[in-house]
Amino acid sequence: MKIKQIIMTSLLSCIIAMIFVACSDDDGIKIPKPLPKEQWSATLKGDGEELGAYPDLYCNYWEYTYRADENSDKILCLKGEFPHCRYFSVSLYNDETGDVFSGINDQDIPADKGSTNPFVKTTSGKNYFTIYVVPNGTPQSVIDKLGSEKVVKVAKGVNKVAIALRHYLGTTADGSQKDEYAGVELPAITALDMDLHETSVPEHVASNIAKVTSKVFTQKSDENKEMPFFLAPVSMYYPNSFTAYLYGRTHLREDSVLTFSFIPAPVPTKPEEYKDAVTRYWSICIGSASDTRSYMSIYDKKARYADGKKATFVICLKKNPKLAAIQSKVNEMNANGEYVNLFIWDSEKKNIDGNPIGEVVAVMYRNILPDKDWEHSIARMTPTAYKDDKGEPIDHVTDPDEQLAHKALGDYGPLGVKVSNDDFLK
């Protein structure tokens, strides 16, 4: 009996040892590599009500941040499976400023040999990709060996790099249900030296991404009857540089509703249409100006709209005394063939800081990969400064026909208007 116990104990010890170390005759004991999910941050959820700067509720983010100045001789290799989602990208940021300086979109990522890029062609099964993040000053001869189409470069002067993954509308592999990781493992991160030999991976250091928030301030224009939409300038808040945003802001009142109507951009239905699409995806997000977090949203496939038709969006306070009548009115309009989307804003809802989210809302109309050549593209507009010591956005309008969405885009550009409850119900 004792002999059996000794044998079992020895076997168990060997199994445990095999789990935690790998042995090699020439290299000795090696510590196993961490799993990809251990290399990246925990999921930064767009709908987690924690991230600032008005994230999209249908997007999940992950970051891997490292000191580029301390690893200037290392090339990072991201190798993974194409995720099952509407859109994904890899973006590089200066983590000290929040500015984006490089990145690559799903449809531009070359598939590994034997794989197909599912964002270019409808396919099934597992498909893989490889992306290299090279330090500033990497010789062209090295880039050529890696394959220049697979390379993204660290910009000169960037000391701390945040690599961000984005998945929009991630699902399981069969597309049957929502999935946090879009049905795949996160890309594995390895490192190469300039001779393309494997070396140690830079330490994942604390990032500022999770702390980001836009500036919170009051605007006199919040009290205006009209809420114009402006094209947002590229900001220092870790933006997706492949996305264009229209934004508007206003103070909701109990005696009125905010409404705006426009023709949304059409979206593709299959990967073969992605390349020539006027936009890959659109959504309407509503966030609190008191904390710059998003709390309500709707995206193209879930919205009531039809290609080439005007869709209407109505926002009213939950405590509006005529809420029931407003809901009935919207139902009646939709029953009559209109396309009306109602948002009920709970201004008394508490955020994670324990404070009410308030009555001042920011409304974002987001277009991913907008085609600037499309005559109705929001990306053709002139961006307008959001806020500075010289005034509010409305104070910076010098060319209305290019800066105000309803003038620049006609029926494809929204203009928010607050109307009394009684006028809306008429």
The CA-based dihedral angle spanning residues 132, 136, 140, 144, taken in that order and rounded to the nearest 10 degrees = 0
Strands of the sheet containing 188-192, edge to edge, are: 151-153, 128-134, 75-81, 188-192, 198-199
pLDDT of residue 28: 44
What pLDDT score does 22 carry? 32
**CATH top class, domain 33-211:** mainly beta
- Within 10 angstroms of residue 24's Cβ, the number of other Cβ atoms is 9
Per-residue pLDDT of the chain (426 residues; tens, 9 = 90+): 444 444 344 433 443 333 333 333 344 444 456 777 789 999 999 999 998 889 999 999 999 999 999 999 999 999 999 999 999 999 999 999 999 999 999 999 999 999 999 999 999 899 999 999 999 999 999 999 999 999 999 999 999 999 999 999 999 999 999 999 999 999 999 999 999 999 999 999 999 987 777 677 789 999 999 999 999 987 767 888 899 999 999 999 999 999 999 999 999 999 999 999 999 999 999 999 999 999 999 999 999 999 999 999 999 999 999 999 999 999 999 999 999 999 999 999 999 999 999 999 999 999 999 999 999 999 999 999 877 777 899 999 999 999 999 999 999 999 999 999 999 998
User: Any bridge partners for residue 369, and if so which?
Assistant: none
- Residue 13's pLDDT is 42
14 phi and psi angles, rounded to 5 deg:
-65, -40
- Check residue 218 and give its pLDDT: 84
Report the pLDDT value the prediction gives residue 120, as an integer from 0 to 100. 98
**Range list for CATH 2.60.40 in the chain:** 33-211
Structure tokens at 290: 């008191």
Measuring CA to CA, which residue among 295, 384, 291, 298 is closest to residue 339? Answer: 298
Contacts of residue 4, defined as CB under 8 A and 6 or more positions apart, other chains included, come to none
